[in-house]
Structure formats: C-alpha cells, structure tokens
Amino acid sequence: MNFDLTEERQMLQDTLRRYLSDKYDTETRNKIIDSEEGMSAEIWAELAELGVIGALFTEEQGGFGGFGFDVSTVFEELGRAGVVEPFLDTAVLGGGLIARLGDDSQKELVEEVIGGSLHLALAHGEPVSRYDLTYVESTAKANGDEIVLNGRKSVVVNAEAAGQLIVSARESGDAADKDGISLFLVPAETAGLTMRGYPLFAGGRAAEVTLDEVKIPASARLGEAGKGFAALSDVIAVADVALAAEALGAMDTAVELTRDYLTQRKQFGRPIGSFQALAHRYSDLLIEMEQARSAVINAAGHLETADAARQNASTRNLIGRVGRLVAEESIQMHGGIAMTKEYELAHIAKRIVMCDHRFGDIDYHLERFIELSAA
C-alpha cells in the first residue's frame, strides 16, 4: 500500500513546517508559555489564515479536510515544533462537537473557529472522573424555558481564552451511565460560571470551572437531551489520533536533537556518537520510531471505520510507551543540558510525556484495547 501523503496534504505539511520553523523557536515559545494568556494571538491568527484550522473540518462542516490523515498531518507538525496553542481544544473538541450536534444557528460558530476569531473549551472532566468519559455528576435541570447547570469541571484546557464553553451535564440517569449526558453551549461570561486558571506543565493554560446555578436558554443544548455521549466519543476518537500524531512529531524532534548532539559533542577527541554504547542506544530509538510511525498511520487510516476505538487504544498505548522511552533516552544521552529551559529538548520531552496523560495513559488504553478486542 502507498502511505505517502496526497498532494494537498503534502502542501499543507510543507506550509506548516516552513511557517513554524521560521516563527516558533525556543525563545518565542518560552515567552508565550510565560505570558498571562499562555498562547500567541498573532500566531493563532496567522495559522488560521494559512488554513490549518480549516484542515481539521470536512467540506460539509466548512473546512477542506477533517479525515484521519488530515488530522495526523497537522498535529504531527504541531508536535514537531512544540506548539502550545489550543488547536485540539478549540478545533477538534469544541468545533467538532458543534459541527456534529449543532443546529444551523450554532453551526455558524464553526465558521468563527475556522477563521480564528473564536476559541472554545470542552468542560467535561470532573474531579473524580479520571479517564472515564461516562462519569458526569454535574446536573442540568429544566426550569421553564431555561436550564440550570450545577457542578464542577476539572482541567478545562483553554477555558480562560474561550468565548464559549461546551459543558457536559446529566439530565437523567446515574453518574456513570452513558445515557442522560447532554452538552450545552455556555458563554464564558455567564453569571454563576467561575474559573480558577493555572499554567499547564507542558505549556498552555487550564482552569477549574465551577457552575453555580448557571442559567442558560434551552436552545443552548447541543443535539438531543441526554444523547451527547456518542458525539463526545467521536471527537475523543479524533483527539486520540491527534495526540498520537503530536507525540510522534515531538519524538521526531527529540531524536533529531539527540543525533545532532551525539555528532557535535566530543570526548577524547571523538564525537560521543561514535562510542558503541551510545550508538546502539540511538539505533534502538530509530527502530522504535518506525514502529510508532506505523501505529499513527494505522490509527489515522482507521479513524472513519467501525474499528476506530480499538485501533486508537492500541496506538495510544504504543505511542505512550515509545514516547516515554524516547524522552528518557534523549535526556540521558544529552546529560544536564537537556533539563534547561533554554534548550529545545526540555519542552519537547514534557510534551511527549503529557500527551500520554490526556484522555488515558498507557495502562488505561491497554485495558481498553483488551476490553474492545474481547467484545
């Protein structure tokens, strides 16, 4: 089979790589991370103008991509450059849910997302839910033509920058039921919605969100009452591919930095990469990288199939294991310089590790793969 990118995806990859190599160096990223916003509005607008966000939506949704290989192409390049801007949260999660569930009026927000003028955040995880997507204690109660939301949401990435939050709340059933979960569009300035923001370990910002008698119109509901879980699962499947591709891109950078260091750093008058012990360790990384790349291609190719969930679980488990190896080995072969903030690998290693802790770590995805394979 031919796994080469199509001409359109190759152009997208080349454009994104050139832009990020020119605009997104270590110093620029560190300034972005240290800023109060945790992201660059200028870079976000320029990437939107280049069509990067549009590549994450199908033509029917207003974009020009939206398939597995479009997602993997974009996020591999974002991972390669260590980009901290919230593409996953605004486009894949927030925009993806509106595109799937929204009515005609709500879907107009997707145009704003693609144009770069609107940020979104998914407020779904709760203090005790961990990786369980079905666990929702937050409640939504009808009160005439209004809906009243109460509850707490944890680690809501991009919440402070978002114009709209997509909030999950339970309209029926027990806390762990799939049925009964609804999704609502809640403007960030709505009375009763409060946030406590903080920086994330690998860049960007998140917030703890409290919903205290938050009143919204019934028209703010996305889709049918109590039927939000299927769409939520669909966008998380896309996010799994995106995170795997992002980690792969970051691993590519880590391996390249390690190769450069091994060929430039000298001991006893020779590059340290010529020493057999380090050469073998580096060779092992290259072998693992080929396996990881094949896994991402497999997941991207299965995203639109009925077997997407099982393939994603397998890929996320493998990427998590290989990513940890690449991060640890790259740091060890570099030595102390790899831990300094001014050196590129310090941030890249954090991104690799944190990709494994969003929407499930290696243990979670192994258990999920076993369960789905037995079904």
pLDDT digits (tens, 9 = 90+) for 109-154: 999 999 999 999 999 999 999 999 999 999 999 998 999 999 999 9
User: Can you say whether residue 28 is alpha, beta or left, with left for phi > 0 and alpha for psi between -120 and 50 degrees?
Assistant: alpha
Give the separation between CA 68 and CA 65, rounded to whole angstroms.
9
pLDDT digits (tens, 9 = 90+) for 9-32: 999 999 999 999 999 999 999 999
Which of 339 and 299 is assigned the larger pLDDT? 299
Beta bridge partners of 215: 148
Superfamily of domain 230-374: Butyryl-CoA Dehydrogenase, subunit A, domain 3 (1.20.140.10)
CATH assignment of 121-224, among 1.10.220.110, 3.40.190.10, 2.40.110.10, 3.10.20.30 = 2.40.110.10
The reported pLDDT for the residue numbered 362 is: 96
The structure tokens listed for 274 are 């010529």
The reported pLDDT for the residue numbered 266 is: 80
Please state which architecture CATH assigns to domain 7-118.
Answer: Orthogonal Bundle (1.10)
Indicate if the pLDDT at residue 2 is higher than 70. no
Domains 121-224 and 230-374 share a fold: no
The reported pLDDT for the residue numbered 4 is: 80
pLDDT mean over 223-240 = 96
Helical segments of the chain, H only:
7-23, 26-34, 41-49, 68-81, 87, 96-101, 104-115, 229-264, 276-302, 308-334, 344-355, 362-374
Indicate if the pLDDT at residue 192 is higher than 60. yes
Indicate if the pLDDT at residue 3 is higher than 80. no
pLDDT digits (tens, 9 = 90+) for 350-372: 999 999 999 999 999 999 999 99
pLDDT mean over 187-215 = 96
Indicate if the pLDDT at residue 91 is higher than 80. yes
Residue 3: Cβ-neighbour burial (10 angstroms; 0-12, 13-18, 19+): exposed
User: Can you say whether residue 66 is alpha, beta or left, with left for phi > 0 and alpha for psi between -120 and 50 degrees?
Assistant: left
Indicate the pLDDT class of residue 339, thresholds 50, 70 and 90. confident
Tell me which residue has tokens 């966000």. 53
pLDDT digits (tens, 9 = 90+) for 265-311: 888 888 877 788 889 999 999 999 999 999 999 999 999 999 999 99
| Domain ranges across the chain | 7-118, 121-224, 230-374
Indicate the pLDDT class of residue 1, thresholds 50, 70 and 90. low
Indicate if the pLDDT at residue 332 is higher than 60. yes
Average pLDDT over the chain reads 94
pLDDT mean over 156-169 = 97
